[in-house]
Structures are given as C-alpha cells and as structure tokens.
Amino acid sequence: MTKEDIKQVVLDIIADIAPDEDLSAVKSEVRLRDQLSLDSMDFLDIVMELRKKHGIEVPEADYVQLASLDSCAEYLFPKFQAKGSK
Amino acid sequence: MSSKTRIVITGIGLTAPNGNSLQEFRGNLLAGKARIAEIDVRHMGRHPAGVCDFDATKWQKRKELRNGTRVGSISIYCAREALGDSGLVWESVDKSRVGVYLGITEHGNVETENEIHNISQFGFDTKYWTHHHNPRTVANNPAGEVTMNMGITGPHYTIGAACAAGNAGLIQAAQMLQLGEVDLAFAGGVSESIHTFGIFAGFKNQGALGAHVDPTKASRPFDKNRNGIVISEGGAIYVLERLEDAQKRGARIIAEIAGWCINSDATDAVLPNPERQAECVRLALKRAGMRPQDIHIVSTHATATALGDIQECTALREVFTDCPGTYINNTKSFIGHCMGAAGALELAGNLPSFDDGWVHPTINIDELDPECALPGLVINQAVQAPRLEAILNNSFGMLGINSALIVKKYGVA
C-alpha cells in the first residue's frame, strides 16, 4: 500500500464519519481540523475505524500523528507495511 | 409563581407510525387507518411494530444522525416541528429561559445492545466498544440532543416514568413553568424501543407480546381476542407557556392544561392496580376543579394485555358513573404502544376534537370483551359529539406508576 493509498484510506474513513463534509479539496499538508469540521470524537472514530477495518492500532500518545493526511501517511505507512508483510 | 398559574399548549410536533404531523395523524385516526408493519427483531425473527418514517434529515445533519441516537433524532424532529407550529420567532427567544422535559420509558437499551452485537463480531474484545456509547446512553440523551440542535441553554432532562412518561414530561414542564424556572418548555414523550430486542423478548416471555396474521390488527385493546402489546416508536413534543406569556405574544392557544396526578400502586411490578388508578383519576379531576361529567373524552392507556385492559376499565367504571357525555377511546389500536411517547401522542391525536367535534374510535374490536364494555366506548367508527371541551389522558406504567392529565379547550370555564 502506497502513501497515497493510505491517504485515501483515511479520506474514506472521514467520508463515513463526517458525511456532510466536502472532501474534494482537502489539502494533504494542512491540518484536517483546520479545513474540516472535525472534533476529538471524530478523531477517535478514525482511530476506531483503522482498528476495525485494517487492524491498525494507534496508541493515544500518537494521536497527534493523525493531524493531516500527510502526517497520517507518514505515520501509518510502516504500520500498513508491517501488516502487509505478515 | 402561584400554583394557579395557567399553562397552555401553543405548539405540537409529532411523529407516529401513521403520521408525521398532527394533521396527518388526526386524519388517519378519524379514518380508522392503523399502520403497523412486521420488522426483523434481532435474535427474534419478525414481529409487528410501529415504525415512524419522518424525514430525519429535515432538521439534522448526517453527522448528527450518525453520532446521535434514534430517539434523539425523533426528539429533534418533534421539537423543531412543535416550534414551527407555535409561531414563535426563535431568533428572539431567550434560549436560557427555555427548558426541555422529555418522558422516556427506558433509554440506552438500543445503544447497548448494538454495541454488544458490534463487539461480538470481534470476539467480545472491548477495545472495539464505541466511545460514543456514553453520550448516547446517558439518560438525558434525547433532551440533550434537542438542546444541542436548537441552541437551547436552559435546563434539559428526561423523566423516566415507564409508560406513563408522556404525561410525566408534560406535567414536569407545567410545574417548571409554574415555578418560574423557565418561560417556555418543549415537553412530551419519546421512544425508540422498537430497536431493542430486549423489550420484545421481555414482553414475549411475559406472555404480553401482541401478534396477528395481519399486523395492522395485532394491537387490539378491549377486543376479546387481544393477545398483547405491539411495540412502537414515536414522539410528541409540545410547546408549553404560561397563559399570560402566550397572550402577550398573540399565540394561537391550542388547549389549556387543567389538572394532573401521578401516583403509585405500591403493589406489583407489572400488574396494574385499578384502585390506585381510580384514585389517580379522581385526584386529577379534583385538582382541575372538575367532575367526571365534565370530561368528554377519556383517552385510555389500554395496551391490549389480557389483564391490564380490564383493570383500567374497572378503574374507569368506578369513576365515570352516570356520564352520558363522556366518550372513551384508545389510540394504541392504530399505532401500537409507543412506550415513552404513548401518552403524549395519544393526547395529541385527541386534541383536534375541540375544533372538529369528532371523537376518534378504538379500532380492531371484532368482538368486544364484555369486561371492557364501558359505556361511551367509541368502537371502530368515529363519532360526532355535541360537546367536546375536556380530555382525560391516562398513562400507566410498570412498577405501578399511574398518571392522569386533564386538558381542556381554552376559554372554557
């Protein structure tokens, strides 16, 4: 899975948890909270969906890594790679 | 504030299985149109139930719907519709002086069952349990969702009162208005109980779950062959104000709250006690300054259980002797038992009688149970009545809670 694929995974999750948001122009480098109406419960939803759908665990200390699509991709890439190699 | 402060109804919003506005609901009640469908109940197969089909996206964003509860959505729909009906200019209302008081039979069963089902897909590992669980299941949830949706900053809470809850919500609001705690109240009852298998299973194992090959005939209070309750969802929320406030703003006054009583059987968890029910009705009449003859419609609670219907008839027979101008009906025969919403919906469906002069019937009576043969029972066909100025609305519930609410036509002495 490429980093671009991972960004799409996160966008797909956001589309599900924030269905009123227009995701067509989300900027990868900008904090998601600065461009979308997302609160702390929504970020917990992202964590939960990563766990449920992809078996990816994000420890609480690392939640900050989910700030933007770019940081999500950087942080999650090795986790998805580890899942893929198993 | 004096306890004599007069409280009036100035708006109604509702969703029932057979109507998403008072006009539609009333039309179907007068026309004898029930609406009960068979639904899949988790772990239990198909059962008759009353399902509401209001447009949930009319007043809520999709994210609100995803994060909130079904009963929160029902509450928001009803409160918003009541506001529209009231003619209030919402922008100019002081939101800190508005209260939300919603009766509930139960809350949290649906959300808890859903989460248990959810984690069952993951080997019951609780790390998959949603963080939305607590805000969804706190007992104030439906009222709290209304405040968040409407920007209301006054008090909000629910009143847990089993199936007497619809009346209890209205009574609580009237009391808070009389105390001066708020200037405006959204009050009534709401229910999402069709989404919890536990309620169905509980009634079934109690021998009190209604069934019929034709689901629209499954709820048949007072019929000799009745066999139990049809569980339904729904809601009815009223705008209540002090009379002087309503007059000041030139509001359309739908009706006046005349009196009420809530008491307890203190005898059995599920079996009703007609003696206490009769006391409840008598005390409500006394507080309203009325005689039984002054009541023109008794909106019964009867749920179509074998014993419960007879017990209520026993209580009514004792109170309403020599009352030729009193008509008796039942709404559950059309929409099933809307649980926490039942009392509020059943009152709402009768209120238009003050203007249209009709009493809606009790339907699905093919063979009247002789023990339920009350004089004045309106069977299968609506009747026109010469005088309709006061309604007694009965709602009773488990653990022996009884409620009687009297509402009268505004302007009648």
* pLDDT tops 60 at residue B260: yes
Dihedral over Cα of B83, B142, B194, B204: its sign: negative
Q: Residue B377 above 70 pLDDT?
A: yes
* Together in a domain, B158 and B281: no
Quote the domain boundaries for residue B404: 259-408
Q: Do residues B195 and B266 share a domain?
A: no
Boundaries of domain holding A57: 3-85
Residue of B63, B127, B128 with shortest CB distance to A19: B63
- Please give, rounded to a whole number of angstroms, the shortest distance from the CA of A47 to a CA of chain B: 10
| Same-domain check for residues B284 and B343 | yes
- Per-residue pLDDT at B1: 39
Q: How far is CA B254 from its chain centroid?
A: 17
Q: Residue A6's pLDDT band (boundaries 50, 70, 90)?
A: very high
- Does the reported pTM lie above 0.90? yes
Please name the residues in contact with A34: beta carbons below 8 A apart, sequence gap of 6 or more.
none
Residue B338 lies in a domain: yes
What are B42-54's pLDDT values in tens digits? 999 999 999 999 9
- Asked if B197 and B39 count as a contact pair (C-beta separation under 8 A), the reply is no
Tokens (6 digits) for B63: 């994210």
Burial A8-30 (b: 16+ CB within 10 A, else e): ebbbebbeebbeebeeeebeeee
- Can you tell me the mean pLDDT for B123-134? 98
For residue B258, pLDDT beyond 80: yes
Residue B413 lies in a domain: no
Predicted ipTM beyond 0.85: yes
**Contact of B241 with B253, CB cutoff 8 Å:** no
Distance CA B67, CA A38 (A): 12
Does residue B413 surpass a pLDDT of 90?
Answer: no
Instruction: Indicate the pLDDT class of residue A86, thresholds 50, 70 and 90.
Output: low
> Does residue B2 belong to any structural domain of this protein?
no
Cross-strand pairs, B401: B264, B397
Residue B336 shares a structural domain with residue B227: no
What angle, rounded to 10 degrees, do the helices at A3-17 and A69-85 form?
110
The answer for residues whose C-beta is within 8 angstroms of residue B297's C-beta and 6 or more apart is B326, B327, B328, B329, B350, B353, B359, B388, B390, B391, B392
* B79 in a structural domain: yes
Q: Tell the residue number behind the tokens 């009687």, with chain if given.
A: B404
Across chain B, what does the average pLDDT equal?
Answer: 97
Answer whether residue A67 shows pLDDT above 80.
yes
Query: Last residue of a domain, which of B187, B216, B248?
Result: B248
Q: Confidence band (pLDDT; 50, 70, 90) for B155?
A: very high
Residue B301 is among the residues annotated as catalytic for this protein: yes
State the average pLDDT over residues B96-119: 98
| CATH code of the domain containing A46 | 1.10.1200.10
CB pairs under 8 A between A and B: 21
Is B270 domain-assigned? Answer: yes
Mutation pick from A52, A57, A58 vs chain B, by most beta carbons of B within 10 Å, is: A52
> Among B52, B78, B163, B323, which one carries the catalytic annotation?
B163
Residue B119 has pLDDT above 60, yes or no: yes
- Mean pLDDT along residues A52-70: 97
Mean pLDDT of A36-56: 96
Q: Which CATH number fits the domain that encloses residue B354?
A: 3.40.47.10
pLDDT at B2 over 50: no
Number of domains in chain B: 2
Q: Averaged over B113-129, what is the pLDDT? A: 98
Band of residue B412 on the pLDDT scale cut at 50, 70, 90: confident
What is the pLDDT at residue B186?
A: 99
Residue where a domain stops, chosen among B228, B248, B268? B248
Q: Which of B61, B62, B131 sits opposite A41 (nearest CB)?
A: B131
How many structural domains is chain A composed of? Answer: 1
Cα angle for residues B172, B137, B43 (degrees, 5° grid):
115
Chain B residue closest in CA terms to A43: B131
| pLDDT tens digit sequence for B79-88 | 999 999 999 9
